[in-house]
Chains A and B, each alone.
Chain A
Amino acid sequence: MTETQAKWFLIALGLYLALGLLFAVPFLLKGAAKIDGDAVEGSWGFKLLILPGTVALWPLLLSRWLRFDAAPVERSPHRDAAGEGR
């Protein structure tokens, strides 16, 4: 990377993470409980622990929140063959 490239990379990364931090506030207060029932009574320690991941992966969580998805059950050949998830 040249210095100019490094500079732009850092600016982009900074912006992305700043948006993530903004997103994390409402998400940890409300959104997490919306997409995952187990988070309804999540402790503050829990919220603190998932903060870094929220800041880093916020677009994924945002799309889940917007779709009001419940936590999905993993697919497997057996579940598919039994006609689940269709």
Chain B
Amino acid sequence: MGHAYRAVGWNRQKKIYDRTLGLGLIAYLVLFVVVGLLRWPEHSEETLALRALGTGALLLLHVILSIGPLARLDHRWLPLLYNRRHLGVLMFCLALVHGVFATVYYHSLTDGNPVVDPLISVLSANQRSDSLAHFPFEIFGVVALAILFLMAATSHDFWLANLTAPVWKALHMLVYVAYASVVLHVALGTLQGETSPVLSGLVGVGVVWVLGLHLVVGWRERGLDRPTTGSPSAEGYLDVAAVDELKDGQAKIVTLSGDRVAVFRNGDEVSVVSNACQHQNGPLGEGRIIDGLIVCPWHGYQYQPRCGRSPEPFTEKIPTFRAQVRAGRVWVHPTPLPAGTDVEPARIGAEA
């Protein structure tokens, strides 16, 4: 890559985003406790603070899980996607304070070790797993918190590069396990506590929302990975698109050799590259060509259309494909060339 790691890659937009997020959160917590004190005077401030933190974390978790599918449905959500990790880390911090606070508040003994005893108590609390009303709901919170910790702790780019992307992704897919765990934590917790059924209802709505959103996106994208078929030309090229389908500076995404490729038009030239950005697999075909370079829509990594290499001093490179333009159609050879291989672009209008 060639960028020395910094703690946080802040820019103006991200600062505004983070400030809005922070202020919004503080407003939520304060409002929750104040309204709570007026509405349920029998509850202590501690209980209310605990619930404010827990529900705040849960709310953020819903936002986080919604951004991905929303961004796929409508590109205007993309700016939220780029800053998702700050949301995630903030959510973890809230959940952590909630968990630590609950552990200390409900599990401290008057005379005992202030750290070890509460931990043992949380882990071994409520051993009556035989009845739903006494099921240890806190342990689900602990499991969720452990997963959220791993995700927050590995959110820096360093981890993506060094754990390797498949491991990192698998780790971050655990967010769904964490989500299920939190839902159980809250569902069982409210069942046992004297909290109003409103919360259980809201969590139910949340689950339906998250599931529904993921299903809708899955349904909409079901056709996208259908491999390109049709009879190959004598040299083995496949017909992937009509020239007229390609807008200047943009790409059509098709599937060849088991993965997506981006067929870019740059003026009267057609260049084809593997669709996955080397940074974090951003969809290059949803990006544009700016100043002669393909720009990844996720974080702006650039690639030369001809050879799939990032401009100096960067060293990323992606596989390229050979293309031909014949009789108003674009033909692509499905065999990928090694990343960074220079390919003469096919020319529109100069057909053989």
Residues of A at the B interface (CB closer than 8 Å) are: 1-3, 5-7, 9-10, 32, 35-36, 38-43, 45-46, 48-50, 52-53, 56-57, 60-61, 64, 71-79, 81-84
Contacts and interface: CB of A to CB of B under 8 A. Distances in A.
Contacts of A74: 164-166, 278, 281
Interface residues of B, number: 45
B162 A61 contact: yes
Given A3-B124, A41-B4, A50-B158, A77 B278 contact: no
A72 B165 CA distance: 9
Given A6-B123, A46-B5, A76-B274, A81 B281 contact: no
9 contacts: A2-B127, A36-B158, A40-B4, A46-B6, A46-B156, A52-B153, A76-B259, A82-B319, A84-B339
Given A3-B120, A45-B7, A36 B161 contact: yes
Contacts of A5: 123-124
Nearest to B136: A1
Contact of B338 (A49, A77, A82): A82
B162 A71 contact: yes
Nearest to B334: A81
Given A10-B123, A76-B319, A79-B339, 6 more contacts: A5-B124, A35-B162, A38-B158, A39-B158, A46-B5, A72-B164
Interface string B317-352: 011000000000000000111110100000000000
> Interface of chain A, helix or strand or loop or mixed?
helix
Contact of B153 (A53, A72, A82): A53
Contacts of B152: 52
Contacts of B318: 78
A8 to B, nearest CB: 10
A61 B5 CA distance: 17
A84 B153 contact: no
A79 B336 contact: yes
Nearest to A72: B164
A73 B278 contact: yes
A34 to B, nearest CB: 11
